[in-house]
Amino acid sequence: MPTRVERFTALVGQQPENELFRFSLAQALMDERRDADAIPHYEICVAKKSDWMMPRILLGKLLLRLNRRAEAKPLLEAALALAVAQQHEDPERELRALLADM
């Protein structure tokens, strides 16, 4: 039985423009602690959908974990703006706390 990473890698190979497959692959890679491998997939998701909050949050947190704060901050700020605009209260609180700690 293929792993989640293998399954989503195959799907991305078949449909490289499908941001949902890339998002799922990035999450699977992070679950396996393959953080650097997840970055380009989240970046594609961020680039494709300007109103998609979750890849910005997850990529920002990932970059923080990799001690790449300068890159993380604008992503987290953009995610916060989306959380406010879309009325997502829990992500808004989390993002405000993350940004306050920076």
pLDDT given for residue 94 in this prediction: 97
pTM, rounded to two decimals: 0.94
pLDDT at 62: 96
Give mean pLDDT, residues 21-39. Answer: 97
* Domain definitions of the chain by residue range: 4-100
Fold exhibited by the domain 4-100: 1.25.40
The pLDDT tens digits of the residues spanning 62-74 come to 999 999 999 999 9
C-alpha neighbours within 13 Å on the C-beta side of residue 61 = 16
